[in-house]
Amino acid sequence: MISRFAENSDSAIDVHICTSETFENLMLELGDEVRDWCNLHFFSGKLGQALICPIGHKRPIALLGCGSSDDRKSGRFFLAAAAKKLPSGCYKITGDIPLANPKLEVLGWLMSQYEFKKYKRNSESGIAELVKPINLDTNWIEAILAGE
């Protein structure tokens, strides 16, 4: 398995991660324009939700929903479930990851990029590449990926 962090790029789309519990605080931070876009597209931070939000004359941002604490009682890689719904491109997490184990969630995103292609013709689907988060120690993640 070869999955790795993308190179940092000025064109990387900022990603804001929320849960059902942190959604309202994120909307206060991002403003009415983003809130209106979320309402229009029924985004509320539910498990597996992903939304690209255009913001005026700025670059768009991405919102990923990781559900409620009840949703996350069983399973893992909640961030990856949402990230798989993003269009192909380069993404950069901004802010904190409001989940119990952020390193495991980022590992899940990177692992979800893998596609077995030995018998598959050229795939039309792209991947949502992730830039290394600056507020997270990624040594453990990179060690796990190197061992795969």
Residue 4 domain-assigned (yes or no): no
Domain extent at residue 19: 13-114+126-147
pLDDT score recorded for residue 55 = 86
Instruction: Specify the higher pLDDT residue, 127 or 118.
Output: 127
Q: Is the pLDDT of residue 117 over 80?
A: no
**pLDDT for the residue 124:** 57
Which pLDDT score, from 0 to 100, does residue 63 have?
A: 98
The pLDDT mean for the chain works out to: 90
Q: How far apart are CA 79 and CA 102, in angstroms?
A: 9
Looking at residue 56, what is its pLDDT?
A: 78
Q: How many CA atoms lie within 13 A of 77 on its CB side?
A: 11
What are the pLDDT digits (tens) for 10-39? 999 999 999 999 999 999 999 999 999 999
pLDDT tens-digit series, residues 68-79: 999 999 889 999
Where residue 70 sits, what CATH number does that domain have?
A: 3.40.220.10
At 51, the pLDDT band (50, 70, 90 cuts) reads: very high
Is 7 inside a domain boundary? no
* Residues 59 and 15 sit within 8 Å (Cβ to Cβ): no
> Is this structure's pTM higher than 0.85?
yes
Say what the pLDDT of residue 148 is.
63
Does any domain span residue 119? no
At which residue do the structure tokens 């598959």 appear? 120
In which order are the strands placed within the sheet that holds 89-93?
50-55, 58-65, 13-18, 89-93, 128-130
Query: Is 8 part of any domain?
Result: no
Report the domain count for the chain.
Answer: 1
